Amino acid sequence: MSDRLTREEECERILAVIGHDQPELVFQVLYVQFKILHARAQVLLGIAGVLVSTSVVLMTGKLIVRSVVHQAVISPLVVIAGGAAIVAAGIVVSGVLGIRWMTELPGADVREWILSTLRYRDSKTLAYRASIAFVLVSMVCLQSAAILAWLR
């Protein structure tokens, strides 16, 4: 059994704690969640940028010379690492950092608007988690390439 609340349960909790008569406080609670998600996505985008730069430097031979014994394995690892970092950055930019104003989300009343906003937040969170997976793939590939180069 999951200890996570469903959107409906989370909505009910928000309304129970804040109340139906204070939509500005509901807005602030949800706004803070989006700020946190966007801040973390920007950090992830920076990490992806470093990984792409690292893979480019490695592929141009600045750190791994062409005479490395494991070159046939290292090169594909570095290419995969760079590709995974680029995919992660793309997911972050399109799925998390894309702008849609909370005030334009649908909802006939406060409860429906909260549910709509939670759906939007959850879609951004899913994109954030997917980009983390690609960043981790990139890191593992780069680290594996570095270990193989070191073992030469």
Total of domains in the chain: 1
In a domain, 42, yes or no: yes
Q: How far is residue 20's CA from residue 32's CA, in Å, rounded to a whole number?
A: 19
Q: How confident is the model at residue 65 (pLDDT cuts 50, 70, 90)?
A: low
For residue 99, give its domain range. Answer: 7-15+22-150
In a domain, 99, yes or no: yes
First-to-last C-alpha distance (Å) of the chain: 49
In a domain, 2, yes or no: no
> Comparing C-alpha atoms, which of 99, 117, 97 is closest to residue 107?
117
What global pTM score does this model have? 0.86
**pLDDT for 88-112, tens place per residue?**
999 999 999 999 999 899 999 999 9
Which amino acid is residue 58, in one-letter code?
Answer: L
